Structure 1
Amino acid sequence: MMILELAFTASPERLAARPAHRSFLTRLHEEGRLLAAGPWADDSGALLVFDVGPAELERVLDADPYYRTPGVEVAAVREWTPVVGSVS
């Protein structure tokens, strides 16, 4: 399980790229590779929870140009081992 944290600025490029990014996330969720994703309430960034390993997460990041868009910064990538709750 992998956690991705993003930091945002109010870049017009980021806002323009967001619809295609969200469509990509929807597909990943339908495939079971993305469990949850969403922005912080103040839109300063976002948290994404992936049911993939580190190598697969790298492929996901490479496949979605949003992560290289001005105004989007990958702030943290962490492996996560949940001990409570259903995440499978």
Structure 2
Amino acid sequence: MSGRHFLVLAMRSPGFDAAVGPRHRAFLDALEAEGRLAGTGPFADGSGGAYLLRAGDLAEATAIAHRDPLHTESASILTVHEWLLR
């Protein structure tokens, strides 16, 4: 899938529950199967992580990110930024 790239930053909320992890990973696996995921990983300091989406525009990328269990279960605060990769 082609498209623009969007960086999703996921910073853990104070009430973060690690039980959301398997649901979050399943969400990312589904994005990968759709060809929408360009990369993902946690931050070394344990504060959260990030993933790189392919989408048509910011609204679409935000809608996708807001389906992430990290967001729907209030485990993390997600922000989405268009990233102009070179």
TM-score, structure 2 as length reference? 0.78
For residues 12 and 80 of structure 1, the distance between their equivalents in structure 2, rounded to whole angstroms, comes to: 27
TM-score, structure 1 as length reference? 0.76
User: What is the correspondence of 1:50-61 to structure 2 with a 5 Å cutoff?
Assistant: 50-52=53-55, 53-61=57-65
- Residue aligning to 1:34: 37
Q: Which runs of 5+ in 1 are unaligned?
A: 84-88
Aligned length: 81
Contact 2:20–2:75, Cα closer than 8 Å, also in 1: no
**Larger strand fraction of residues:** 2
Which of the two has higher C-alpha Rg? 1
Q: Which runs of 5+ in 2 are unaligned?
A: none
Q: Which moved more, 1:58-67 or 1:25-34?
A: 58-67
Q: For 1:25-84, what per-residue CA distance to the aligned partner results, in whole angstroms no more than 9, with x for missing partners?
A: 01101211011111101210111111112122122123233213344112x32111111x
Letter in 2 for 1:62: H
Over the residues paired in the alignment, what is the CA RMSD in angstroms? Answer: 1.9
What is the SS of the residue equivalent to 2:66?
helix
Runs of 4+, deviation exceeding 3 Å: 9-12
